[in-house]
Chains A and B, each alone.
Chain A
Amino acid sequence: MSLVQLKDISKHYQSGDEHVYALDGVTLTIKKGEFLSILGPSGSGKSTLMNVLGCLDKPTAGFYQLDDHDVSSFSSKELAAVRNSKIGFVFQSFNLLEYATALENVMLPLVYAGVNLRKRRAKAAELLERVGLGDRMSHKPNQLSGGQKQRVAIARALVNDPQIILADEPTGALDSKSGAEIEALFSELHHEGRTLIVVTHDISLARRTKRIINIKDGKVVDDEILEPSSTIYHRREGD
């Protein structure tokens, strides 16, 4: 059962006479419970693809269906609701509110979901415990290490029980030890049955995933499924 369906998604930028196809006809199906990584050289369109998947950005052309909704036709108000309830986004640069505590940051999506304060607190606290930050709830981001910040961001991404978790280079700004902790966390989430999509340059993270998509010049050039036995099936474009 497919959770995400992209058909001929293109994102086109024009600055002056220059045309840039950040995405050029991406077609992709992602099933529930998949753990997949997106690889590709810098400027290949990975972030653009993630932003489209995360409903942060609208494609210039193509069709995007998420959980049986045609989100490519949604208004900005409807997209906000989709981001709130179906998507958890983890950024390379954490994107936490600086003046809010870890707990408040994690509570934020619930605010916009209209959850009352007591439930917000309880749920956010539960998730901070889950990512191992039960003792850091009232710390502000500047009192946390990079790895801790990213775990707060992951807790925030999980707090609304999203259908899909998107992470754009989640370990990119972290040292290797913190990076490894985050990787382990993602693996755990996968084993819980969550759907995760990770953009990474980090081979060790990519190898934890069960499917690797390679992007170049806005096109999917390689899509391989890694079996537990580490047998690799190649599904090249046009196969």
Chain B
Amino acid sequence: MIAFRQIIQEMAAEKLHLGLTILAIAWATVSIASMLAVGEGLRQGLIRTTSNGNGDLILLTGGFATLDYGNFSKGKQLNLKPDDVDLLRALPSLAQVEPSAVWSASVTYKDNGTWQQPLAVYPQYKNLTGLQIDSGGRWFNPLDIKEQRKVIVIGKSAAVSLFNEDDDFDWENMPDLESSPIGKQLKVGEEKFTVIGVLKSNPSNIENGIPIDYAVFVPFTTWLRFHVNPSLGAINIKPAAGVDREKAAASARQVIARKYGASTEDLQLLQAQDMLLRQKTMRQFLIGLQSFLGIIGLVTLAVAGIGIANVMYATVKRATRDIGIRMAVGARPGAIKLHYLIQAFITISIGGVIGLILTYALVQVLQNIPIQGSGFYDYLGQPTPELSFTIVSLVILALSVVGIAAAWFPARHAAAITPLEALQGE
């Protein structure tokens, strides 16, 4: 019932207006799609950081007193001790309690060093933080702990910076390991350690923002062997399932504060950071951000829609005589309406496809921009924009709605002209 050729011919006669409209739609599509893609990337990054690392843990750390209370005068430091862990493990609201300590010594292999100092942990730390070992290596076993062995497990990027040739090191584009470091000897301070495992690359963080990829681990007991009067870096706590996390954190603080005679009021002296709550706030912020970006895109699209409507009105006006001719030879009003709806649909499709292709290209470019090594970027889970199926569908839906709304009125206007009016309208 519709002469497609003539739709195309009519469009060809409106090249300039049509071109501008297509441009506007493409631009709107790019802005809405890329904004949603960036938002989606951020959201996915956050999901990555929460599902791994310490994203669902409470991190208990000692700090400096800001109040005079009990054993503490202002400015005095509270150092957590290994036996604090036993007190916390007695609490039923806590499912898992793992200590970690920082060995203040540099890790070196020949002339190479690492960014992070070694973390001393027990084997259970691996499952608590979702670490995974690359094939060929292993994690600490009970014997390493019992015999206080000098073995070491290193993160992927730490391994690269230690064992790859210096010349090849490219901070922006982390290369793969050239050879397996398993069995090689490196130094922690002046002590020789044997590499037993390399971690799989993981964008998440542990402790207070240590990227897993740059972390270095030694057995907790080995660390104890070299330290008199050892103090912990942190205690990682996983609350029991279904427990109020804030209450669990409070009772943990209370137990430790009582032990040291510290004030539970002093939030600086004894800090319990709930990483999950922190991420939740972040996530809410990101959902807000994504909506905001989406709305900006939608407004742009609406403006493009007004553009479509205007061009369509102009086309209809210019084509009035042709509409009359069509009607005179038997086109029903519905066919005329469909004619212009199809025209709008073609315009929007061209604009939308161009826009999506451009967005795809843009996303590819953004995905390949290396931004590793920035703490905040790592903290966000190294987000890259993602043009997911959902986003593409959402954009197509938005385009269709705006397109139909924009084309509807000009098309209806065209269909409402009587044949005689249209023929004499010139």
Contact = CB atoms under 8 A, between A and B. Distances in A.
A99 B328 contact: no
Given A56-B423, A99-B6, A100-B9, 13 more contacts: A51-B420, A56-B420, A81-B330, A83-B327, A83-B419, A95-B321, A95-B324, A95-B325, A96-B325, A99-B10, A111-B3, A112-B326, A112-B335
Which size class do B's interface residues fall under?
Answer: 20 to 34
A109 B327 CA distance: 9
A111 B330 CA distance: 9
B13 interface: yes
B398 to A, nearest CB: 33
Contact of B325 (A51, A76, A81, A97): A97
Contacts of A81: 330, 332
A113 interface: yes
17 contacts: A51-B420, A57-B418, A77-B332, A83-B329, A84-B331, A91-B423, A95-B324, A95-B423, A97-B6, A97-B325, A99-B9, A100-B5, A100-B6, A112-B1, A113-B330, A156-B329, A160-B330
A108 interface: yes
Interface string B308-344: 0000000000000110111111111111000000000
Interface string A77-111: 10011011100010100011101100010001101
B329 A112 contact: yes
A97 B322 contact: yes
Given A77-B334, A80-B333, A112-B335, A104 B6 contact: yes
A228 interface: no
A104 B326 CA distance: 12
Contacts of A83: 327-330, 419
Contacts of A97: 6, 322, 325
B105 interface: no
A217 B123 CA distance: 108
Given A56-B420, A97-B6, A109 B330 contact: yes
Interface of A: 51, 54, 56-57, 76-77, 80-81, 83-85, 89, 91, 95-97, 99-100, 104, 108-109, 111-114, 156, 160
A164 B119 CA distance: 98
Contacts of B419: 56, 83
9 A-B pairs with the lowest CB-CB distances in the bound complex, closest first: A84-B330, A109-B329, A112-B330, A80-B332, A99-B9, A111-B3, A56-B419, A57-B420, A83-B330
Contacts of A112: 1, 326, 329-332, 335
Contacts of B335: 112
B361 interface: no
B424 to A, nearest CB: 10
B221 to A, nearest CB: 85
Contacts of A91: 423
Given A108-B3, A112-B335, A114-B1, A85 B330 contact: yes
**Quick one: which of A51, A91, A97, A109 has the most chain B CB within 10 A?**
A97
